[in-house]
A and B are shown apart, each in its own frame.
Chain A
């Protein structure tokens, strides 16, 4: 039985608590936080032991109490924790982005590989039933060669909804991009040949890139179009992902999954959600990869490539130009 440590105990601990009892081959054994109250609260939810620790070094001194880490610390602290975990022979599951730079991401990837531990960088998205269904159709060849991926993600990110891993402004921008670029990379399975990105702040917003738009080109004419906003009025978000292949298409679109509610005036649409199955799938894949001593779906190698695309997108936003991947060395250059 693999013993997991949840490092960083925010509101997300409730989601882990809901899926922990369904995990095969693992338990959440420890809830770790620098704040004693938060650690105790999460530990109660997870039926785990609380551990009050404020640094990777201190965590290393408790290494005997767990085998793997579910990492929920600020993005700027990822490197320290992952290096420490690798040194202690612990596996790590983190949300994208892995770090704030390609060089840091590659360093963590190499460090984990050398230590023989699994470093998985994935959000729950790719394990959602809707997206696994879509991907499965693509993998079975039902849709033919992927020509276009279209993604819209619109949300409201209020202070209470922010993951502590994404609380720095640069990190937030990277995190916004990382989830969806990860999906794009997962579906196309290759690096883009062209990147054009646009980003802008919201009205009165202190943080950059409340709106992001990416236009990616891939080999053999493939293309992807992604847009993200965090400026929706408070309430429901919206997500839509379509893939158009040479012989078929799949549409995972929130608009199709809304019900109607009547309480006077205009009807209200109410989404029928997919529950926490995505989170369960993510956690289970991490555990299985450890058990089977294989690279997880969403391994750190992929995370390095995603980080490269993020950096290129940020360059494109700054320069207003298309960045083209040079043949041979794979370096992106402005056109």
Chain B
């Protein structure tokens, strides 16, 4: 809603650097009136299907698509880069944008397990240039905000433990155990390319990624927001329990993590892509927080509205989340950070901290032993 008396605030021209995976990040950015696309871009050498997706989004936004990242960063007046490449290209792409003087909104995860160094470079570049960086997250969902507000108000005292369930009930191809002798392993990238139509391509890339690596950012970002303490040591169990794709590619679709934080605060995380049959909606996602004076049990899905009707498609969620303003709030937070030279709700350093936790958990899952979480720049 325009406010005639309010002083006008600058609108930030944005370069969308690849929408090969989700377009939801870019769409989320442009849900805020202070951000507008000016160009979509990618490197010339990416596969043709990538160019097609980028072109399609450029057409939707009615902006040019250029097969030249440097040109997009320098010739269109962009002040913000929206990065939604494959996860393995995230950091490299964001780094190029920061070095060109842009602020960054980047899809999750901030980087992959084997690209920590590039992420460290990114964090250093962001911090030394005083550019703003927002790692896409869900911390502005109504229930998460409510939990944060209740904790901040001291309603449960000082938090002593946090437990997060993050089960999302999506399928990922045939169930585990469905392959027959002699079948070739399912190809990760081919499957994820095909999954684009259902937005089930969060792990798109050449390298397979487990759900802890793809989705772990969200619950760990909740912990970051609600507890705000560094994680010192983790113990994890990881397995491919549901989907043949994950079993064939030896990555997890189910994981549990024990987290030991500073000041003796404990946490646990149960996370999985548990299959569409396992929940009537998007999945059971809950926050449990224990404090010195009380405790919270929060359902991340609330508020929601139940809708049932004759002929309803089986896959349609019966409970629909409402009042979700996460996209706008994230971008408002980002705009405010730029305006005031302030912090974003999840910046590059926090993203790297989370990756350190995920990396330690993956290592623990492989070794069966607790693993110390390394400092950001060790």
Interface residues of A (CB under 8 A from B): 145, 147-148, 150, 152, 154, 194, 196, 198, 200, 203, 211, 213, 215, 217, 221, 223-225, 227, 229, 231-233, 238, 240, 242, 244-249, 251, 254-255, 321-322, 324, 335
**Which of A198, A211, A335 is within 8 Å of B369, CB to CB?**
A335
**Nearest chain A CB to B29 CB, angstrom units:** 34
Q: What's the minimum C-beta distance from A168 to chain B, rounded to whole angstroms? A: 25
Q: Mark B257-277, 1 if CB is under 8 A from A, else 0.
A: 010100010101010101101
| Given A147-B241, A148-B256, A221-B237; A249-B167 close (CB under 8 Å) | yes
Report how far A255 CA is from B277 CA in the complex, Å.
21
Given A213-B266, A213-B268, are A196 and B295 also a contact pair (CB < 8 Å)?
A: no
Q: Once the chains bind, are B161 and A249 in contact (CB under 8 Å)?
A: no
* Contacting residue for B237 out of A215, A233, A248, CB 8 A: A215
Report B-chain residues with C-beta under 8 Å of the C-beta of A229: 161, 290, 295
- How far, in Å, is A169 (CB) from chain B's closest CB? 20
What secondary structure prevails in chain B residues at the interface with A?
strand
Q: Which A residue sits closest to B233, measured CB to CB?
A: A320
Could you tell me which residues of chain B, from 239 to 287, have a CB within 8 Å of some CB in chain A? 239-242, 254, 256, 258, 260, 264, 266, 268, 270, 272, 274-275, 277-279, 284, 286
Given A225-B163, A227-B161, A246-B242, 7 new contacts (CB under 8 A): A145-B241, A154-B290, A213-B161, A223-B237, A223-B239, A242-B284, A244-B272
Q: Which residues of B contact A238 (CB under 8 A)?
A: 295, 297
Are A321 and B370 within 8 A (Cβ)? yes
Chain A residues closer than 8 Å to B266, beta-carbon distance? 198, 211, 213
Chain A residue with minimal CB distance to B274?
A244
In the bound complex, residues from chain A placing their C-beta under 8 Å from that of B270 are 148, 150, 225
B225 lies within 8 A of chain A by Cβ = no
Q: Which residues of B are found within 8 Å of A227, using beta-carbon distances?
A: 161, 163, 268, 288
Number of interface residues of B (CB under 8 A): 41
Say whether A233 contacts B277, CB under 8 Å.
Answer: no
**Given contact pairs A221-B239, A242-B284, A244-B278, A233 touches B368 in the complex (Cβ within 8 A):** no
Q: State the CA gap A247–B279 with chains docked (Å).
A: 11
The contact of B268 among A225, A242, A321, by CB within 8 Å, is A225
14 of the cross-chain contacts (CB-CB < 8 Å) are A147-B241, A152-B163, A194-B237, A217-B368, A227-B161, A229-B161, A246-B242, A249-B274, A249-B278, A254-B297, A255-B286, A255-B297, A321-B370, A322-B368
Which chain B residues lie closer than 8 Å to A244 at the CB level? 167, 254, 272, 274, 278
Give CA–CA (A49, B272) in the complex, Å.
55
Main secondary structure of the interface of A (DSSP, over half): strand
Give chain A residues whose Cβ lies under 8 Å from the Cβ of B237: 194, 215, 217, 221, 223
Min distance, Cβ B69 to any Cβ of chain A, angstroms: 41
Interface residues of B in 59-103 (CB under 8 A from A): none
Q: B293 on the interface (CB 8 Å rule)?
A: yes
B: residues with CB less than 8 A from A are: 160-161, 163, 165, 167, 175-177, 235, 237, 239-242, 254, 256, 258, 260, 264, 266, 268, 270, 272, 274-275, 277-279, 284, 286, 288, 290, 292-295, 297, 299, 368-370
* Cα of A223 to Cα of B253 in the assembled complex, Å: 13
Q: Looking at the complex, which one of B167, B235, B290, B299 makes contact with A215 (CB distance below 8 Å)?
A: B235
Query: How distant is B260 from chain A, measured CB to nearest CB, in Å?
Result: 8
On whether A233 and B239 interact (CB within 8 A), knowing A211-B160, A225-B270, A321-B370, the answer reads no
Closest to B169 in A: A249
Chain B hits for A225, CB < 8 A? 163, 256, 258, 268, 270
Complex Cα distance A246/B171, Å? 11
Interface residue from A152, A242, A246, A335 paired with B175 (Cβ < 8 Å): A246
In the assembled complex, how far is the CB of residue B151 from the closest CB belonging to chain A, in whole angstroms? 16
CA distance A148 to B368 in the complex (A): 17
Nearest CB of B to A242, in Å: 7
